[in-house]
A and B are shown apart, each in its own frame.
Chain A
Amino acid sequence: DTGVSQDPRHKITKRGQNVTFRCDPISEHNRLYWYRQTLGQGPEFLTYFQNEAQLEKSRLLSDRFSAERPKGSFSTLEIQRTEQGDSAMYLCASSLVEGAYYEQYFGPGTRLTVT
């Protein structure tokens, strides 16, 4: 399967702990996005990369959140000092952006539960 993959699929952590999620995009895609989704809501944009450059971060992304995409391949999203409000599904998506119009391909998500 050559789709977007995310690891882990589920993570339970205690408040105050750090967590890191990984996303492997579709190999030829040049753009990678992170979203957060809570129950009954649509995904909310967090940040995106064009190759290895992080081009935008949402105001939702507090100082406790950091994302990287070394070498323009896989990406990691780290949350430090987790809070119960961080409990959500974290979705990664990738795109091949060659023109003005493009769709995004989403991974299965990582469900984070902070206890």
Chain B
Amino acid sequence: SQKIEQNSEALNIQEGKTATLTCNYTNYSPAYLQWYRQDPGRGPVFLLLIRENEKEKRKERLKVTFDTTLKQSLFHITASQPADSATYLCALEDWRGAQKLVFGQGTRLTINP
């Protein structure tokens, strides 16, 4: 069966450290993978997109890697700040499927001052 799983429901990190979130998928052949941020009571906000032929993508303090052999994406926030506290969602679009996003369940990240 097809699955997309994020490594943990919740992650607590000390301010200033690097937060690393994991997204694993099974039985998908994604054209690309995306990461979104969602704050309580709000819709997800797009952060980064990484294509299947890209290994790494950066945007300010954010870095995403994509390993199609391991079927895994890692999402890093460096120099984390309390304002980075939110739920982070990974999502992929399967080449074989319709043009829709499939989301993981999300990881709730808390950055402690």
**Residues in chain A within 8 A of chain B (CB atoms):** 4, 33, 40-45, 48, 55-56, 91, 93, 97, 100-101, 103-109, 111
Contacts and interface: CB of A to CB of B under 8 A. Distances in A.
B78 to A, nearest CB: 22
22 contacts: A33-B100, A33-B101, A41-B105, A41-B106, A42-B104, A42-B106, A43-B89, A44-B103, A45-B100, A45-B101, A45-B102, A48-B99, A55-B99, A91-B43, A91-B44, A100-B31, A103-B34, A103-B49, A104-B46, A105-B46, A108-B41, A109-B43
Main secondary structure of the interface of A (DSSP, over half): loop
A107 B99 contact: no
Interface of B: 9, 31-32, 34, 36, 41-46, 49, 51, 89, 91, 98-106
Contact of A106 (B32, B41, B43, B106): B43
Given A40-B9, A48-B99, A101 B31 contact: yes
